[in-house]
């Protein structure tokens, strides 16, 4: 399946604009349902009305975040890639929390205009289940956010905390739809909120509750585990049935069902290290981790290359041939085939070479690309697959590779690339590596006048866990 690389300014704004419109619609419907003068007369009504507006927009944003978290293909397309979709997911979640926090504060403030006791009474079960369900939902949301932001969670626990937001939303829906007032004034508003809530619950059910049944996945079998050095491991898998179709540069989510991993990862562990509270769960059977594909499309063998940066990726070094692998994907739009410009410069940092490796392996004789590839590593001996890449370059006039060891050459700079390739202003640049490398090179290229839409970077933070420094 061919995907168009989403890099233009319109595509970058398309998804966020849709989110903004969908969160604004309920406020507009509410505003049109009754005269605003009556709603904003006096301190009590003004605070209450503002709290209602925050609740409508916040609940809408909450529902949409469940949709964003479901990894739906149409939504990925809307945002121009999974990396942008998850950026929006994080920002939209922060907005939803801020709006719902505003709702709670403003409601309490409005009741405080009557008396402090009236405000405090809203926080207890004595106010009735309709009100108290809202208190419970917001409290659970607050706990989940604190765990996410301030506690160093293992990947498995992190996933379960994220899934908890779906149950929090169900409780919040009970509060929203049993509270009288705003929805009673507008049938259109009621229908809209029901539709949006249903969409959020359906997305939560699809991904988190019934993912094993509804999400399309393929079964593979591990055939080789090649330890390339102390930290980097290449894993080769053969399909049990139909192989995966993908575009070079994409990544997949993989769940390994391995006896060796079960022995290596303990069921549950709590520890305090370096003044940080760490929680790790080893319940890996239903957990999927993202990794770049390094094989070329059309190969029977599906390959991924993993750098040990955490408990799970370290444990993969113990993976045994014959273990079952369940693969979901492919995802991502980072591919040279999705860039119209045939003149390209690739830049990879460390294990960020993995998507470029797939792209290099997929170059065909009939392709008319002109590609220069800078492979940045800490030390020259860490340039894995360099012999293979050099062999590809030796057989083609349109592909050149240069290794840039930091200990001898320093960091790769846009100045060096421009000096070695005066046609840089006419090229498109594809970068994959640690976030600091991407940010630095993007800034340098922009300062040399290169348009943002000609700089393409793999920025999907979750996917980076398997191939570069954890962000």
Q: Is the pTM of this model over 0.85?
A: no
Residue 4 pLDDT:
35
Statement: residue 57 has pLDDT above 60:
yes
Residue 268 pLDDT:
54
The reply to whether 451 and 320 lie within a common domain is no
The reply to whether 67 and 208 lie within a common domain is yes
Asked whether the beta carbons of 412 and 441 are under 8 A apart, the reply is yes
Chain centre distance of CA 374: 26
H or E segment at 220? strand 218-227
The reply to whether 208 and 241 lie within a common domain is no
Statement: residue 271 has pLDDT above 60:
no
Statement: residue 111 has pLDDT above 70:
yes
Quote the tokens at residue 387: 């012999």
The reply to whether 445 and 368 lie within a common domain is yes
Mapped onto helix, strand or coil, the DSSP state of residue 198 is helix
Task: Flag the least confident range among 10-19, 47-56, 277-286.
Answer: 277-286
Statement: residue 470 has pLDDT above 70:
no
Residue 273 pLDDT:
54
The reply to whether 63 and 112 lie within a common domain is yes
Query: CA 205 to CA 74: how far, in whole Å?
Result: 17
Residue 277 pLDDT:
53
Give the Å distances, CA to CA, from 306 to 89, 159, 196, 217, 319: 26, 20, 39, 21, 12
pLDDT-derived band at 274, boundaries 50, 70, 90:
low
Statement: residue 284 has pLDDT above 80:
no
Q: 82 lies in which domain range? A: 9-213
In DSSP notation, 392-438 reads HHHT-SSEEEEEEEHHHH-S--HHHHHHH-TTGGGSEEEEES-HHHH
The domain tally of the chain equals 3
Query: Within 13 Å and on the Cβ side, how many CA atoms surround 34?
Result: 14
Which carries the bigger pLDDT value, residue 268 or residue 234?
A: 234
The reply to whether 168 and 279 lie within a common domain is no
Residue 132, number of CB atoms within 10 A of its CB: 16
The reply to whether 262 and 186 lie within a common domain is no
The reply to whether 362 and 379 lie within a common domain is yes
> Is 118 a member of any domain?
yes
H or E segment at 151? none
Statement: residue 335 has pLDDT above 50:
yes
> Is 344 a member of any domain?
yes
Which carries the bigger pLDDT value, residue 181 or residue 201?
A: 201
Average pLDDT of 136-144? 94
> Is 425 a member of any domain?
yes
> Is 4 a member of any domain?
no
> Is 1 a member of any domain?
no
CATH number of domain containing 269: 2.40.30.10
The reply to whether 65 and 134 lie within a common domain is yes
H or E segment at 69? none
Task: Flag the least confident range among 10-14, 172-176, 334-338, 346-350.
Answer: 10-14
């Amino acid at each position: 399946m061919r995907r168009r690389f989403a890099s233009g300014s319109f595509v970058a704004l398309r998804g966020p604009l849709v989110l903004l419109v969908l969160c604004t619609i309920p406020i507009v419907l509410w505003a049109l349902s009754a005269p605003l003068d009556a709603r904003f007369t006096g301190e009590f009504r003004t605070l209450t009305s503002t709290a209602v507006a925050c609740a409508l927009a916040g609940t809408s944003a909450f529902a949409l975040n469940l949709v964003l978290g479901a990894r739906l293909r149409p939504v990925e397309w809307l945002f121009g890639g999974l990396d942008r979709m998850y950026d929006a997911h994080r920002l939209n979640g922060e907005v939803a929390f801020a709006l719902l926090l505003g709702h709670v504060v403003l409601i309490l403030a409005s009741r405080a205009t009557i008396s402090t006791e009236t405000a405090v009474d809203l926080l207890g079960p004595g106010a009735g289940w309709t009100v108290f369900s809202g208190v419970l939902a917001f409290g659970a949301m607050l706990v989940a956010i604190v765990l996410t932001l301030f506690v160093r969670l293992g990947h498995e626990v992190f996933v379960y905390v994220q899934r908890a937001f779906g149950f929090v939303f169900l409780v919040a829906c009970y509060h929203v739809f049993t509270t009288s007032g705003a929805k009673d004034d507008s049938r259109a508003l009621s229908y809209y909120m029901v539709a949006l809530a249903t969409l959020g619950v359906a997305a939560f059910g699809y991904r988190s509750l019934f993912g094993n049944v509804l999400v399309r996945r393929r079964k593979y079998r591990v055939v080789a585990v090649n330890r390339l050095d102390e930290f980097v491991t290449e894993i080769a898998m053969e399909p049990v049935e139909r192989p995966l179709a993908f575009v070079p540069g994409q990544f997949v989510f993989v769940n390994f069902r391995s006896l060796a991993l079960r022995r290596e990862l303990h069921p549950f562990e709590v520890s305090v290290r370096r003044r940080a509270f760490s929680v790790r769960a080893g319940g890996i059977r239903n957990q999927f981790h993202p990794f770049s594909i390094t094989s070329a499309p059309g190969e029977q063998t599906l390959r991924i290359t993993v750098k040990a940066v955490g408990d799970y990726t370290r444990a993969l070094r113990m993976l045994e041939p014959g273990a079952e692998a369940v693969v979901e994907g492919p995802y991502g739009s980072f591919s040279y085939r999705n860039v119209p410009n045939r003149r390209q410069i690739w830049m990879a940092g460390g294990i960020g070479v993995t998507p470029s490796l797939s792209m290099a392996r997929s170059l065909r004789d009939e392709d008319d690309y002109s590609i220069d590839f800078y492979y940045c590593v800490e030390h020259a001996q860490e340039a894995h697959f360099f012999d293979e890449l050099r062999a590809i370059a030796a057989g083609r006039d349109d592909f050149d590779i240069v290794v840039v060891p930091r200990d001898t050459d320093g960091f790769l700079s846009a100045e060096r690339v421009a000096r070695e390739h005066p046609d840089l202003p006419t090229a498109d640049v594809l970068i994959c590596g640690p976030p600091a490398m991407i940010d630095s090179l993007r800034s340098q290229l922009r300062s040399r006048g290169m348009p943002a839409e000609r700089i393409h970077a793999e920025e999907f933070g979750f996917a980076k866990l398997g191939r570069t420094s954890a962000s």
